[in-house]
Structure 1
Amino acid sequence: MAVVGASAVPGRIGHAIMKNILEYGFPGRVYPVNPKYEEVMGLRCYRSVEELPEPVDMAVIAIPARAVPGVVDVLGEKGCRVAVV
């Protein structure tokens, strides 16, 4: 799963999403994506969805609306079948 807009800052939606996924035991790999960070909650953070090391089945997207269509397009090209915005 990719979390696009993951954040290391408590109070941000991207932080809450990451916290919930990790605390409630998502069984798969989690890839935070945000160009502002090298690491989020102990996980390597990727600068863009293009940099993800493998295709993801699902993405949670928490970024400004104007950037969503482009990210969804790239995720689709990389084989992602589900995106939650």
Structure 2
Amino acid sequence: MAATSSENGRVDSPYSYDHFTGVGAKARKPPERHFLWWCAGAYQDLLKDCPSEQTKYAGLGGVLLATFVLAALSAGYAIYSVFNDAVWAVVFALV
């Protein structure tokens, strides 16, 4: 029995690891994006193949997102306390 390659470059064989891990079923799903992985700066296509690293990068993305939100709030409050203008505080916090 000869092994053939599919369109995504994986080997189609009854003895490949794809049959045990379900990677072939994942390849048929539409691509999904994870916001926390994006916040962490992870390469999402590679991370989908490594389930043991997914929670680590989701946690890292959550920490970075929380840091961003708290920094934006504190910057907005600092500008508001100096200039007493809510418009400038919101603009500066978003920037």
| TM-score, length-scaled by structure 1 | 0.23
Larger Rg: 2
| TM-score, length-scaled by structure 2 | 0.22
The structure with the greater share of residues assigned to helix is 2
Which gives a bigger RCO, structure 1 or 2 (Cα 8 Å, sep 6+)? 1
The structure with the greater share of residues assigned to strand is 1
